[in-house]
Structure 1
Amino acid sequence: MTGLLVAACGLLGLAVGSFLNVVVWRVPRGESVVHPPSACPRCGHPIRPRDNVPVLSWLLLRGRCRDCGAPISARYPLVELGTAVAFLAVAWFTGPGWVLPALLYLAAISVALTLIDVDVHRLPDAIVLPSYPVALGLLALASADPGGTADWAALVRAAAGGAAMYTAYLVIRLIHPAGMGFGDVKLAGVLGLYLGWYGWGALAVGFFAGFLVGGVVGIALLAAGRAGRRTAIPYGPWMLVGAWIGVVAGPALAGWYVGLL
């Protein structure tokens, strides 16, 4: 059962990754993600359905447009593959359960927001704000656990975690506006929902892990000469990495730390 679930989630990830390529390109530009259909940016010819199969079509076309021969960036199949791997990992981590849809949604927006923040240094409201009701609804389903034992305390904890992380990031933003965008503040609330659902230990680890990973990456870029003291480095990706660390290993890490005390 778990093997079939993991395989199905991997296939779903390929399809979602194909859609995320559209999201990453169009959302920062304020364009619709459903209309018009995808087309070659050079010749404008609409992409045929048979040329829109994730990864496979790019390989068969040898990375070029069927109509004009313009090169198609390898980023497209890589995003599709990356999303598939992320969905596989999530399914393997959580197994069958009602929390799976919530984590798959988090994986999808993690891919989209990471790429957008790297590209344009923004975390669009069009993705972040709808994530509040979507995440709450999916986490409510996980807390209800149809056919199992409901855990409404987890949902209350999720709401508290979202409020706590939003408030903490807002305070940091007010104290040091140059160091953090308001998009980071809004994303913090979404991540806090997930971390709070998993527990206070996950929330603490996820919160601090984002700063730790971001700081290490920033120092590495400075040391490698890839960034200067005034270089704007997107922080959203490291918030997301920190949140996933909190979800996957937060309770265990928090328990280990408390044990040391």
Structure 2
Amino acid sequence: MSTALLVAAGVLGALVGSFLNVVVHRVPRGESVVRPASRCPSCGHAVRRRDNVPVLSWVLLRGRCRDCRTPISARYPLVEAGTAALFAAVTAVVGPAWSLPAYLYLAAVAVALALIDLDVHRLPDPIVLPSYAVALVLLTVASAGTADWWALLRAAVGAAALFALYAVLFVAKPGGMGLGDVKLAGVLGLYLGWWGWDALAVGAFLAFLLGGAVAVVLMALGRAGRRTRIPFGPYMLAGALSALAVAQPLADAYLSVVGLSPSA
């Protein structure tokens, strides 16, 4: 893996992360992510271009507005740095492949949706629904570039299967699963299905494993009860992204345990 590619992915991720801060703040409020330009919520002054450099500007300004010196939340540089790290990690897993743009888009959407779900317990349609079209376009390009049309068919099956699973859970246990989770499941099914059957199975399983583990910890700490609603979107997204890296090793390990060759 080229170091230059990983660095480029990290820089792109930091820039995207800066935009995602705007998305996370404005989309739940029904505001445009384009206009007006970013401003200090305290004094109203527009953020200067030189103060919009991801992470670095926050450090140089010592976490304060240049004009009114009001503290700026550390969440902003953390989102930028976190998105940079996630982009680099996804690039390391996917490599310089036709599918890389598709999975970088998934990484960006994952950051935005996870933060919004944690903030307001919603997965906004303006982000989730267009992601179906974007994913289909990018994965179609990836299949065309690799001449692997079976992967695109597998993606469609994965989307239908994961959507159906969450829809059944939504109907079977009202209140246990949000409709936004059902819509997101179809998007994740596209990406996991394109990657492989093992990724689809592992990604679906990891979502419930991670969500359940966090719920148990929160209850043990007294920060949640049996009736506390915990946003599930972040665990769906974390499970899907993790599956890209761990699905194949886990599948190979399972086949070895049952006495089959991983290539069988």
Partner of 1:104: 104
Partner of 1:202: 199
Give CA deviations for 1:53-109 in whole Å, capped at 9, x if unaligned.
111111111111111111100000000000000011111122211111011001101
Give 1:182's match in structure 2, choosing from 172, 175, 179: 179
CA distance in 2, matches of 1:10, 1:245: 18
CA distance in 1, matches of 2:255, 2:119: 39
CA distance in 2, matches of 1:86, 1:235: 20
Unaligned runs of 5+ in 2: 259-264
Partner of 1:123: 123
Q: Count the aligned residue pairs.
A: 258
Aligned amino acid, residue 53 of structure 1? V
> In the alignment, is the contact (CA less than 8 A) between 1:194 and 1:247 conserved in 2?
no
Partner of 2:224: 227
Query: Residues 1-261 of structure 1 correspond to what in structure 2 (within 5 A)?
Result: 2-145=2-145, 149-261=146-258
The worse-fitting range, judged by mean Cα deviation, of 26-35 and 85-94 is 85-94
Partner of 2:262: none
Cα deviation for residue 187 of structure 1 reads: 0.4
> In the alignment, is the contact (CA less than 8 A) between 1:2 and 1:92 conserved in 2?
no
- SS for the counterpart of 1:41 is coil
TM-score of the aligned structures, taking structure 1 as reference length = 0.96
CA distance in 2, matches of 1:150, 1:2: 24
CA distance in 2, matches of 1:217, 1:197: 28
CA distance in 2, matches of 1:104, 1:185: 22
Compute the RMSD of aligned alpha carbons: 1.1
Cα deviation for residue 260 of structure 1 reads: 2.9
- SS for the counterpart of 2:119 is helix
Aligned amino acid, residue 176 of structure 1? K
Cα deviation for residue 141 of structure 1 reads: 1.3
Give CA deviations for 1:170-220 in whole Å, capped at 9, x if unaligned.
010000121010000000000000110111111111111111111011001
TM-score of the aligned structures, taking structure 2 as reference length = 0.95
Aligned amino acid, residue 227 of structure 2? R
Cα deviation for residue 248 of structure 1 reads: 1.5
Percent identity, aligned pairs only, is 66
> In the alignment, is the contact (CA less than 8 A) between 1:144 and 1:150 conserved in 2?
yes
- SS for the counterpart of 1:227 is coil
Cα deviation for residue 255 of structure 1 reads: 3.4
CA distance in 1, matches of 2:139, 2:237: 18
> In the alignment, is the contact (CA less than 8 A) between 1:144 and 1:152 conserved in 2?
yes
Unaligned runs of 5+ in 1: none
CA distance in 1, matches of 2:249, 2:62: 45
